[in-house]
Amino acid sequence: MKKIDLTGNKFSRLLVLEEVKKINTKRTRYKVKCDCGKIFEVNGSDMKNGNTKSCGCYRNEKMSNVGKVAKHNMSFHPIYKVFHGIRQRCYNSNDCNYHNYGARGISVCDEWRSNFNGFCKWAVDNGWKKGLSIDRIDVNGNYEPSNCRWATSTEQSRNTRKTLKKHQVLTIRNLYKIGAFNQSELAKIYNKDSSIISLIINNKSYYYAANY
């Protein structure tokens, strides 16, 4: 097969300067100059089939663009919206929900507060799905791994203060104490999650005073 001299040709960013003397190789190597100015050697076949398009600067540019896009899109990710939302409610006194959160002493744990990656990891490891919202098991408790879970809006609305009055909380405790019902029966009767009933029974929470 007749060899074609590629000198002077341009492949993507590479201008072929000259053929390099062969040393123990069947392939023809060329000295090339990249658009960015870097001069290096490359196999002619790699240039022709497009495997090598530049000195590496092309790939680097592409990668840094991917990085930028990913970082930019992150702020539109549904988990980021949740992350942003909880911080606003707890720390931005101008937020319309602040009075139910920050003003009541609800805070975001250090692990999450300024660490979206940490929050994101917890979210994914703990059953986050699109459409679910973050739910505090104890509505008087903070945003922290041990007190949060992902819930549908129906599950979450069960835990709002509108549904339990102080006298109901006291009744639940009494009914449990006298052995009239067990926790899961009480959960059904009061249309609450059994984890809520458990907190109430253990005197850990009064739900009448809390908001979701």
**Rounded least distance, CB 33 to Zn ion, Å:** 9
Q: Is 189 in the site for Zn ion (CB under 5 A)?
A: no
Residue 196, SS3 per DSSP: helix
Choose the stretch contacting Zn ion; rule: CB under 5 A; options: 2-10, 26-34, 117-125, 146-154.
26-34
Choose the stretch contacting Zn ion; rule: CB under 5 A; options: 31-39, 118-126, 185-193, 199-207.
31-39
Choose the stretch contacting Zn ion; rule: CB under 5 A; options: 15-23, 38-46, 97-105, 137-145.
38-46
Q: Which residues contact 113 (CB under 8 A, 6 or more apart)?
A: 87, 107
**Rounded least distance, CB 5 to Zn ion, Å:** 23
Residue 98, SS3 per DSSP: helix
Residue 108, SS3 per DSSP: strand
Q: Is 54 in the site for Zn ion (CB under 5 A)?
A: yes
> What type of residue sits at position 19?
E
Q: Is 55 in the site for Zn ion (CB under 5 A)?
A: yes
Q: Which residues pair with 149 in a beta bridge?
A: 135
Q: Is 16 in the site for Zn ion (CB under 5 A)?
A: no
Q: Which two tokens stand for residue 128?
A: 């986050």
Q: Which two tokens stand for residue 73?
A: 């899109």
Choose the stretch contacting Zn ion; rule: CB under 5 A; options: 2-10, 54-62, 158-166, 204-212.
54-62
Question: Are 135 and 151 contacting, i.e. CB atoms less than 8 angstroms apart?
Answer: yes
Q: Which residues pair with 80 in a beta bridge?
A: none
Q: Is 36 in the site for Zn ion (CB under 5 A)?
A: yes
Give contact residues for Zn ion (rule: CB under 5 A). 34, 36, 38, 54-55, 57
